[in-house]
Structure 1
């Protein structure tokens, strides 16, 4: 909830001219395919806000909220790779280009350009996604790749066969109108 409040505070000064959508339980999944072991993790506590009239969008995921099949993987992820105490969140703040009409049912492919911050390193990215409107319900889905080196996430040579250099990220958010 705290993460949603932070995102809403970021968007509220701009709310007067449009409709704001919020999601406090977006699902973010990570997948690493490596020669010796595939690694999967999921968080269901990411927060997101979207302003339909301007296309402003923001996501915030607490790094420690990712759950792994093996507790040791989760421990290594937080302590050795992501340094979760030092960098507690991953964020995206940007703008959707070619705004979809969220008043009509359908699936709308979009691109969002903005700043992706992971492990304290911010990269300007354009991320593909899709809004789906069905019976007034609005959801968003996206899949993209994050390269560890781009965000200064070090993979020790000892475990390079267990962790991929690029991580697949999948995001799903179902919004409510605020």
Structure 2
């Protein structure tokens, strides 16, 4: 009985140690910033959110982020915000946008520095996922990383319908900027 108890304790300790080491490799980020801009002939729409969350798994070269659509603020007016978030992005039906992919380049995650990177994966907005290659800058420090990127999102690619009456007020492509810092093994 004592021998079985010792084996059980050893197995539990070994499992916890292995799980802890597996978690340490992950880089987690919360409170990242996402900015969107629609520059159309008759109207400029700008908004941002500080609720971007993400993760990097250096071992598998995986990278992902997600953001709640209703977290965007800073529109020119309340009615502009309502139209953009509720009528076009349909935030109640599609509450978040996500990207899940892998870095194309081999990145020396154990070497501090700044690297130009590309991540290939699926960007899902408005319930429609499209394969994208997102280019950005990855800055690595001891136990942390930061990704900054800029890309365009064609609204038609994600089934976002802009009525003809407001086509001069919303751009066909939305500028997106992402800036998120990651910490090793835990969210910030």
Q: TM-score range by the shorter chain?
A: 0.7 to 0.9
| Contact in 1 for aligned 2:144/2:184 (Cα 8 Å) | no
| Contact in 2 for aligned 1:100/1:131 (Cα 8 Å) | no
| Contact in 1 for aligned 2:143/2:183 (Cα 8 Å) | no
Q: Tell me what 2:120 maps to.
A: 113
Stretches of structure 2 lacking an aligned partner (at least 5 in a row): 1-18
Q: Tell me what 1:140 maps to.
A: 147
C-alpha displacement of 1:19: 1.1
Counterpart-to-counterpart distance in 2, 1:103 and 1:148 = 38
Q: Which has the higher contact order (CA 8 A, sep 6+)?
A: 2
Larger Rg: 2
| Contact in 2 for aligned 1:18/1:51 (Cα 8 Å) | no
Q: Where does structure 1 differ by over 3 angstroms across 4 or more consecutive aligned residues?
A: 15-18, 134-137
1:48-97 CA-to-partner distances (Å, cap 9, x unmatched) read: 00001211111110000011232211111121100000000000011011
Q: Tell me what 2:110 maps to.
A: 103
C-alpha displacement of 1:105: 2.6
TM-score by length of 1: 0.87
Stretches of structure 1 lacking an aligned partner (at least 5 in a row): 1-12
Q: How many residues align?
A: 165
The reply to whether residue 21 of structure 1 matches residue 27 of structure 2 is: yes
C-alpha displacement of 1:20: 0.3
C-alpha displacement of 1:130: 1.3
Q: Tell me what 2:72 maps to.
A: 66
C-alpha displacement of 1:17: 8.7
Counterpart-to-counterpart distance in 1, 2:152 and 2:24 = 31
TM-score by length of 2: 0.82
The reply to whether residue 160 of structure 1 matches residue 167 of structure 2 is: yes
